[in-house]
Amino acid sequence: MDETIKYFLARIENVDRDRYLADRDIRNILDKTINDIILCIVDISEECLKKAKRNIPDTYRDTILACHEFLGEIVLNVAPLVRHRNETIHQYLKVNWQNIVTVKSRVPSIVEFVETARVALAKDPE
């Protein structure tokens, strides 16, 4: 995950809305990287739930939110990113630069989520 975040930040550097819209390669790279980041968050959430012997909810968002008990308030900051991932990947709104900007602005929360999950997953089961 750390490498994926670094890759995303490196690729978005010096990219503005006009370049994103005009450059199909950049758009595909950023869209795919957002997908990878969000799916990694979901995978981490699933691992936390499995460790606690909990059921995995049916949706990505609910899976992340179900980890509130183990990971705390940070899940409330990252769970909404699922919507941005869905809009970007499925292109509900065609090309959506704002989703890229939103995910970029939440990178600190994503990093905090990953670090919190690392600690939780490293603990011995009680």
In a domain, 126, yes or no: no
pTM of the model: 0.88
Q: Tell me, what CATH number does 84's domain have? A: 1.20.120
**Mean pLDDT, the chain, whole residue set:** 90
Length, in residues, of the chain: 126
In a domain, 10, yes or no: yes
> Into how many domains does the chain fold?
1
Residues 95-119: pLDDT tens digits?
A: 588 888 999 999 999 999 999 999 9
In a domain, 82, yes or no: yes
pLDDT at 77 exceeding the cut of 60: yes
- Domain range enclosing 54: 2-121
Burial class from Cβ neighbours inside 10 Å (0-12, 13-18, 19+) for residue 60 reads buried
The pLDDT of residue 93 is: 46
Quick one: tokens of 101? 């900007």
